[in-house]
Amino acid sequence: AVKRGWILQTRSGRNLGTNVIVDLHTERFALSDDLIRIDIEDPRLRNFALAYLQSSSGLGVLRRDKSGSVIDHLGAEQLEALE
């Protein structure tokens, strides 16, 4: 289950780095465990984080430490290490 306001970050595959914010529609679904759930309570900080992660700079930072020999992969620890 997911909660409205969470940022869902893809962590593997061809679309590595794609993310969305959970809205009223999305929170009704049970989603894959292949999504990192980011819970930031402050709405201004959450929206800033989302905008940064969706920017070319943010995507570059996310993808620079990817792992995996066949399928690109991110770990939660890589997101937690972002300043």
What local confidence, expressed as pLDDT, does residue 70 receive? 62
Give, in order, the Cα–Cα distances in Å from 82 to each of 31, 61, 63, 75: 24, 8, 12, 12
Predicted confidence (pLDDT) per residue in 30-75, tens digit: 787 788 899 999 999 999 999 999 999 888 888 777 776 667 777 7
Distance CA 26, CA 33 (A): 15
Please tell me which of 2-11, 24-33, 55-64 the model is most confident about, judged by mean pLDDT.
Answer: 2-11
When pLDDT is cut at 50, 70 and 90, the band that residue 7 belongs to is very high
Dihedral angle computed from the Cα positions of residues 39, 40, 46 and 48, in that order, rounded to the nearest 10 degrees:
-110
Q: What is the pLDDT of residues 66-78, one digit of tens each?
A: 776 667 777 788 7
| Axis-axis angle for helices 43-54, 56-64 (nearest 10) | 80
